[in-house]
Structure 1
Amino acid sequence: MPPSSPPDLSKVGEGNKTPLKSTISIPTSLFHTKKLVEEKNNAPDQVVVEKRPEVAAPTIIQESVTLTQEMLDLVIHSVKDFYRQANKNFELAILDQPIQVLNGEVNLQVMGSVQEEIANKMRPELLGLIRKLTGANQLSISVEHKEEIEDSRPKLYTNTDKLRFLRDKHPALAEFQRKFDLDVDF
Structure 2
Amino acid sequence: MELIPTTSVQSFTQELLEKNLPEILTHFKNLGKNLELAILQQPIKVKGGDLVIEVIGSVQEEIAEKMKPDLVGLVRKLTGANSFSVHLEVKEEIQETHQKLYTDRDKMNFLIKKHPALMELAKKFELDTDF
The TM-score bracket by the shorter chain reads 0.7 to 0.9
Work out whether 1:96 is the aligned partner of 2:38. no
Aligned counterparts, 1:1-186, within 5 A? 59-171=4-116, 173-186=118-131
User: What are the ranges of 5 or more consecutive residues in structure 1 without an aligned counterpart?
Assistant: 1-55
**Aligned AA (1:120):** E
**Aligned AA (1:113):** S
**Aligned AA (2:52):** N
Task: Report if aligned partners of 2:105, 2:129 keep a CA contact under 8 Å in 1.
Answer: no
**Aligned AA (1:165):** F
**Aligned AA (2:55):** V
Higher share in strand: 2
Task: Report if aligned partners of 2:44, 2:54 keep a CA contact under 8 Å in 1.
Answer: yes
**Aligned AA (1:153):** H
Residues 76/170 of structure 1: CA separation in 2 closer, same or farther (3 Å cut) = farther
Classify the secondary structure of the residue corresponding to 1:62. coil
Higher share in helix: 2
Greater CA deviation, 107-116 or 92-101? 107-116
User: What are the ranges of 5 or more consecutive residues in structure 2 without an aligned counterpart?
Assistant: none
Output the TM-score relative to the length of structure 2.
0.86
Classify the secondary structure of the residue corresponding to 1:139. coil
How far off is 1:172 after superposition?
5.0
Alpha-carbon distance between aligned partners in 2 of 1:172 and 1:78, rounded to the nearest angstrom: 52
How far off is 1:126 after superposition?
0.4
Alpha-carbon distance between aligned partners in 2 of 1:84 and 1:92, rounded to the nearest angstrom: 7
Alpha-carbon distance between aligned partners in 1 of 2:23 and 2:116, rounded to the nearest angstrom: 47
Percent identical across equivalent pairs?
49
In the TM superposition, what whole-angstrom CA distance separates every residue of 1:144-181 from its partner, at most 9, and x where no partner exists? 22111212122112221111223334455333212222
Alpha-carbon distance between aligned partners in 2 of 1:60 and 1:77, rounded to the nearest angstrom: 33
Alpha-carbon distance between aligned partners in 2 of 1:80 and 1:58, rounded to the nearest angstrom: 41
Residues 133/149 of structure 1: CA separation in 2 closer, same or farther (3 Å cut) = same
Point out 4+ residue stretches in structure 1 off by more than 4 angstroms.
Answer: none
Task: Report if aligned partners of 2:101, 2:107 keep a CA contact under 8 Å in 1.
Answer: yes
Alpha-carbon distance between aligned partners in 2 of 1:77 and 1:171, rounded to the nearest angstrom: 48
Classify the secondary structure of the residue corresponding to 2:75. helix
Classify the secondary structure of the residue corresponding to 1:166. helix
